[in-house]
Structure 1
Amino acid sequence: MNIRINLSSEPFRRDRPWVVATTLIGIILSVSLAALSYLAIMHRDEDKEARAEAEKAQRQLNLLIQEQNRLESTLRRPENGEVIERSVFLNQLLRRKAISWTRIFSDLEKVTPYNVRLIQVRPQVNQRNEVYLEMVVGAQSSEPVIEMLMRLESSNEFGAVHLANSLPPSQSEPLFRYRINVNYAQKL
């Protein structure tokens, strides 16, 4: 048997590596498509659950808002005005009683130099339930007070310091006196 092959007119082509490579790429892409389709279906189901939970939470929130509006309308009635005023007054008293004097003095002891006298301390509570201290301190010179101010600012228990005013020594009061306002980190 005689096979006629003319190599000069039809050269031998080396397509096998190209065919194998494209087949492998096709298989990999098909597997990737299947995996991504599966993940998309899974996420769609999870999204349904998340939407259902969000709708449930929104319904609960709407119920709570309705309840709050109902209670606020009851509180706004003229006959309840006296009760509200008394409630606000009692809440303010409770906030003031929540301030621990022992803790205030313990924290001040950590930052006050030995040669600074604490003449007056007045804790206050602002509208955001934050405590700040109005203090009057005295010293023979201003250096110990400056040191105290720096310690207050660098302390974790105290915040921003504001020097309201200072008074020089007088015949009745031999100390330099400084009025200081400082934020205090005591939780109520």
Structure 2
Amino acid sequence: MSDQLNFSPSPFKHRTKTLLILWTVNLSLLVGLGIALVSWNRLRHSNALAHEELDALNLEEQNLMQRHSLALSELAKVDLSDYRKKVVQFHEIQSAFDTHWGKLLDDLGLLLPKDVRIISLRPQSSQRSRGRVKETVLRLSGQARSKEAQLSFIRALQAQPRFKDVHFSSETYGDNPAAAIDFEIAFTYLPGGGKS
């Protein structure tokens, strides 16, 4: 045996260059391993956070898709004809507010013959504007004792500049020749006397 075995209690007491290089390499490897372990742990943590965010986004996307399909089903249930009826009702109410009722009734009272009476007077949904003057389209239901009284009332309306586009909508005769004539007319009322 060329090499002798060293059985002393501290065999590496003498520090040699090789031993120092080995210690330095081991220490460097240990530090590198520690840095790699910390980096791997951080990477794993950021990866877990990214997966959590992705899961949250997927859940939010599912919720949005459910809300979207619910909104589409509710939109499909909307009845546009019902909506249009409500819009027409709103315009009728608005026309009723915009009409100059006092002036209109005074003008009608001056033209009304004794054999004609007004049953109802209501604005229609359409309202036009001519410059600064608002035209209100009205529907009048009335009764006349004779055809002559009815025609004289309509001619009187047509002769006044405040009343335009006067025309019959309906006319109903009773079974008895002495019965009153029910009629309905439509006209446009200009509170300013027809001046635009």
TM-score by length of 2: 0.44
TM-score by length of 1: 0.46
